[in-house]
Chain A
């Protein structure tokens, strides 16, 4: 439906919330994008509430210098993102502006009202048609592929096109840019024509799941031993990483972005430090993706809305990220979305809610926080696509709980919707036990582990018992525990030190493949099951395990299957 452009005038400015009066005949919608016209600046905003002739708008930029009476132009469209080849490897802000291009064109500051197209429209992509004229298609159906670096980017019928279409014509194989017409579709019922190009605009807040959602069955291997072994993540499932500052949320996420067994990684840097994003931007192009042998950046999309960038755009940035993820899922790929941090996103909701003078919930978060969290994580999922292929989108979010306590609305709201909880503990962080995922508090409800259940049970039981004995020692002293208990305590410490802990800064230990995990587990189990230690006293037991830990940690950084690796392993198992 096309409509005449609606305009309005600004009547209230309160921080990032602006109220706009429209004429009584105007038709406006929640979620509609509008621009405040301020001189030659066009300032983007979104309707979040309507009352009578007043549109309440969240402004995606700062509102300083705006006056009452300024004109607002409504677009009739929701917040959209351009989806097409060229997204991989890009760094865009929460609204889809590529940051490098903004830097080249406007200098070091993010100037208000300055935008740029998400993907380079002029770049040509090698296109191969897979559908023929006369075929019938619907939303999400593929008409061809364009080679985008490491993947075949499927050119699909836009997700928002309802109904059935006939392909009236389609171009031959060749190089095309984003603005070239690729195919013409004809609505089977009305005969209305739609043009297909390599890219299209997709409303980011509208979930896309074309196909049949199925149970996630496969494990998403992270090459982090504690996750893959004890708290696995399933492809198409979701997980959260809550933790206080300094516990290593960012390092954990960066490691997952680097080593996870997926095709595409979307990183949403949402309200966090700019420096960390810069590290990723500079480091990823230098790192090699073991799967494709190409630069890691070629499988990565970074959505960057750091803490000092406008808060309303931060609210949108997670949706922008999930829209990118869903797009690649529709191509039959495994996608991992990492959102750092969902707390900052929740705080953005809280700020806007406060400005709207809504009745505050717990800690002044809006009452709909849980629904929004569920809506976000609910966009994860494993899809059986129409062509029979599987596509998955896994969503992981970090949570930065106030005061480091998990008993707060964002952590609790998240825990009620995600099946895998990787809780980072300050105590483990302070003790430099990294990754600081708490082995006793964390859990995973997905049944996709790559290791035998029996092994995991044994490991967990030892860790639990060891922790109990440790407490006992702290209270009653060393002399009060039996030798057997003391050995269990040491076994737990040993398993923790050499298997659960992993050195993210060691080239070898940073990524531990499943095959290697199995061999390491064999050795760990060998020492957990062993009975005949025959220690003279506790001191002897202690020094035995200390030495063993030292040797094992050295083993962890020996290249997998190298000669020295094999020698060390044999020595462990012979003892």
Chain B
């Protein structure tokens, strides 16, 4: 941990607040107050964000409304912390690590949520697949341990359902859920589904609700990733779900503007890329075991992939799943790490995935031609049939089956639709897997 080498004592001062600007208050700072320290301002929590010539700038985590200018401020001498222990599993906390499930507070092994970055020399080239039971992921864009990958989608899409499906089916040892700007209904859906699915005991939930302060939103990914790193160092395979990282970026924008930072693109701060990367780069596979895999949700305003948040995210993450019209689309989805694992599954996995993606793209073209009134040939008709079957039996979000069954199902669809000669896959593969109809 990037812990202060000098232990700062707790100190309380009776002071006058010189300025209140947005949710930031300014007070006279005595020596020993450090950047990143937590403070208590008349019972409300605050973080020291900037020190300037004897003045400290504090962000009030619950807003500055109602904070009196004559006040008692206690500087804790330490940064925001989160408990790192097995005791967090099966529990729900707010962004500050305080329980919101009526259970007891967890204070074991508290660690600063400001953690140094990981030395690339301690990383290994990832080679383990994380199974999700969703054919559109397992077959076409396999998720790989240590991968960081977002779901690019829009607010009306059923991305929570997809995330819950993944959390229910994954073989990861620990699942850490981070809710950022989450509606109560979505939070309740996550929690209820995971409890009913019997997996909540391996989950910890850190939740920032839409109505909470944006400052707390900024803490959630750090809290989640600090806990995840702890479990990964114990040799555990950890899956982190961050929903929704666009709201994290929006919170950053709000806070940066309040701090008078010069905005860059579409009024997001200039360090948007760095701040997102700092979080996503916590995805890791350690040479000595243990891993953190991160799946984020990135809702795209107006489904625009060039919006600064998806744009910067795309440059950081190792691919993306594009969830649109309630299915994971083939076009626009990409797992940059799938090559690392697809050769270790079944010999037909990579070839048939590529082949199907090609057929489906051809099918899309034929659909367009047909809609424009062009005449459709016999083979093109077959492509249309293939597309329909593929959508119903593989793409549909409710389809859940292990990878091998999904591959078999695809062969079945091919055999039902095309003659054996029309399937231009490598001969040996067709011989081996062509189903007897």
CB-defined contacts of A403 to chain B, threshold 8 Å: 306-308, 311
Q: Is B273 in contact with A281, judged by CB distance below 8 angstroms?
A: no
Residues from chain B with a CB closer than 8 A to the CB of A12 are 50-53
Is the Cβ of B315 less than 8 Å from the Cβ of A308?
no
Looking at the assembled complex, report how far the CB atom of B403 sits from the nearest CB atom of chain A, in whole angstroms.
22
Question: Does B35 contact A66, Cβ atoms closer than 8 Å?
Answer: yes
For A535, the chain B residues whose CB sits under 8 A away are none
Which of B37, B117, B306 meets A309, CB within 8 Å? Answer: B117
Contact B318 A65 (CB under 8 A): no
Q: Does B265 contact A (CB under 8 A)?
A: yes
Cβ B264 vs Cβ A363 within 8 A: yes
- Which residues of A lie under 8 Å from residue B311 when comparing CB positions? 245, 402-404
Looking at B5, B79, B117, B121, the one whose CB has the most chain A CB atoms below 10 A away is B121
Q: Evaluate contact between B116 and A67: CB separation under 8 angstroms.
A: no
Contact flags B283-323 to A (C-beta < 8 A → 1, else 0): 00010000000000000000000111001101110110000
> How far is B37's CA from A348's CA once the two chains are assembled, in angstroms?
25
User: Is B2 located at the chain interface by the 8 A CB criterion?
Assistant: yes
Asked whether B2 lies within 8 Å of A62 as measured between CB atoms, the reply is: yes
Which of A41, A66, A405 contacts B306, CB < 8 Å? Answer: A405
Taking a contact as CB atoms under 8 Å apart, the answer to whether A69 and B119 are in contact is no
Q: Assuming the A-B contacts A278-B120, A404-B311, are A306 and B281 also in contact, with contact meaning beta carbons closer than 8 angstroms in the complex? A: yes
Task: List B contacts of A405 (CB < 8 A).
Answer: 306
Name the A residues within 8 Å of B282 (CB-CB).
Answer: 308
Q: Say whether B62 faces chain A, with CB atoms less than 8 Å apart.
A: no
How far apart are the CA atoms of A363 and B318 in the complex, in Å?
26
B112-152 contact mask (Cβ, 8 Å, vs A): 1 or 0: 00111111111111100000000000000000001000000
Question: A64 an interface residue at 8 Å Cβ cutoff?
Answer: yes
Instruction: Tell me which residues from 101 to 118 in chain A have a Cβ below 8 Å from any Cβ of chain B.
Output: 102-103, 107-112
> Who on chain A is nearest to B1 by CB?
A109
Whether B32 and A67, one on each chain, are in contact in the complex, defined by CB atoms closer than 8 angstroms, is yes
Query: Given the known A-B contacts A11-B53, A65-B36, are A110 and B262 also in contact in the complex, defined by CB atoms under 8 Å?
Result: no
Question: Chain A residues with Cβ under 8 A from B50's Cβ?
Answer: 12-15
Residues of A within 8 A of B278 (CB): 307-308
Q: Closest residue of chain A to B306, judged by CB? A: A403
A65 CB contact (under 8 Å) in B79, B117, B146, B264: B79
Q: Contact string, B24-48, partner A, CB cutoff 8 A, digits 1/0? A: 0000010111111100000000000
Residue of A nearest to B232 (CB): A108
Interface residues in A197-234 (C-beta closer than 8 Å to B): none
Determine whether the beta carbon of B126 is less than 8 Å from that of A275: yes
Expressed in whole angstroms, the minimum distance between the Cβ of B275 and any Cβ of chain A is 10
When C-beta atoms are compared, the residue in chain B nearest to A309 turns out to be B117
In the assembled complex, the Cα of A190 lies from the Cα of B32 at a distance in Å of 50
Contact between B36 and A111, CB atoms less than 8 A apart:
no
Pairwise interchain contact A273-B36, C-beta atoms closer than 8 A: no
The CA of A100 and the CA of B123, in the complex, are separated in Å by: 11
Q: Is A528 positioned at the interface, with any CB of B under 8 Å from its CB?
A: no
**Hey, which chain A residues are within 8 Å of B29, CB to CB?**
68
Q: In the assembly, what is the distance between CA of A555 and CA of B44, in Å?
A: 72
- The answer to the question of A430 belonging to the interface, with a C-beta cut-off of 8 Å to chain B, is yes
**Are A110 and B116 in contact (CB-based, < 8 A)?**
yes
Over the window 389-410 of chain B, the binary record of Cβ atoms lying under 8 Å from chain A Cβ atoms (1 yes, 0 no) is 0000000000000000000000
Q: Are A344 and B119 in contact, CB atoms less than 8 angstroms apart?
A: no
Note all chain B residues with C-beta closer than 8 A to A477: 374
Smallest distance from the beta carbon of A151 to chain B beta carbons, Å?
A: 25
Which of B51, B79, B118, B306 contacts A109, CB < 8 Å?
A: B118
Chain A residues near B437 (CB, 8 Å)? none
Whether A282 sits at the interface, judged by CB under 8 Å, is yes
- Is B331 an interface residue, CB under 8 A from the partner? yes
Q: B3 within 8 Å of A by Cβ?
A: yes
Q: Which residue of B lies closest to A302 (CB)?
A: B120
Interface size on B, residues (CB 8 A): 65
Contact between B122 and A108, CB atoms less than 8 A apart: yes
- Judged by a CB distance under 8 angstroms, whether B96 is at the interface is no
Determine if B106 is an interface residue (Cβ-Cβ < 8 Å): no
Query: A279 within 8 Å of B by Cβ?
Result: yes
Query: Are B36 and A67 neighbours in the complex by a CB distance under 8 Å?
Result: no
Q: CB of A174 within 8 A of chain B?
A: no
Residues of B within 8 A of A505 (CB): 339
* Min CB–CB distance A310 → chain B (angstroms): 8
Identify which of A11, A107, A278, A360 contacts B123 (C-beta below 8 A): A278
B373 shortest CB reach to chain A, Å: 10
Report if B427 contacts A (CB, 8 A).
no
Q: Does A381 contact B (CB under 8 A)?
A: no
Judged by a CB distance under 8 angstroms, whether B109 is at the interface is no
Closest to B57 in A: A14
Across the interface, name the chain A residue whose C-beta is closest to B282. A308
| Set of chain A residues within 8 Å of B334, measured between Cβ atoms | 246
Indicate whether A282 sits within 8 Å of B121 (C-beta atoms), given known contacts A246-B334, A271-B277, A354-B270: no
Q: How far is the CA of A102 from the CA of B119 in the complex (A)?
A: 8
From B79, B119, B262, contact of A364 by CB (8 A) = B262
Which of B8, B53, B282 gathers the greatest number of chain A CB atoms within 10 Å?
B53
A38 beta carbon closer than 8 Å to chain B? yes
B263 adjacent to A68 (CB under 8 Å)? no
Per the 8 Å Cβ criterion, residues 312-366 of A in contact with B are 344, 347-348, 350-351, 354, 357, 360, 363-364
Flag if A304 contacts B265 (CB, 8 Å). no
Out of B2, B8, B121, name the residue touching A111 (CB < 8 Å). B2
B271 CB-CB contact with A under 8 Å:
yes
B4 close to chain A: CB less than 8 A: yes
Q: Name the contact of A110 in the complex, choosing from B51, B114, B118, B306 (C-beta under 8 A).
A: B118
A residues near B (Cβ < 8 Å) are: 11-15, 38-41, 62-69, 91, 99-100, 102-103, 107-112, 244-246, 271, 273-275, 277-279, 281-282, 304, 306-311, 344, 347-348, 350-351, 354, 357, 360, 363-364, 400, 402-405, 430, 477, 505
Given contacts A111-B2, A348-B274, A351-B274, 4 further A-B contacts (CB under 8 A): A62-B2, A67-B31, A109-B117, A274-B123
The 3 A-B pairs with the shortest beta carbon distances in the complex, nearest first, are A39-B5, A307-B277, A403-B306
- Measured CB to CB, the residues of B under 8 A from A are 2-6, 8, 29, 31-37, 50-54, 79, 114-126, 146, 233, 261-265, 269-271, 273-274, 277-278, 281-282, 286, 306-308, 311-312, 314-316, 318-319, 331, 334, 337, 339, 374
| 6 interchain pairs, CB-CB under 8 A | A62-B114, A108-B286, A112-B116, A307-B278, A402-B308, A505-B339
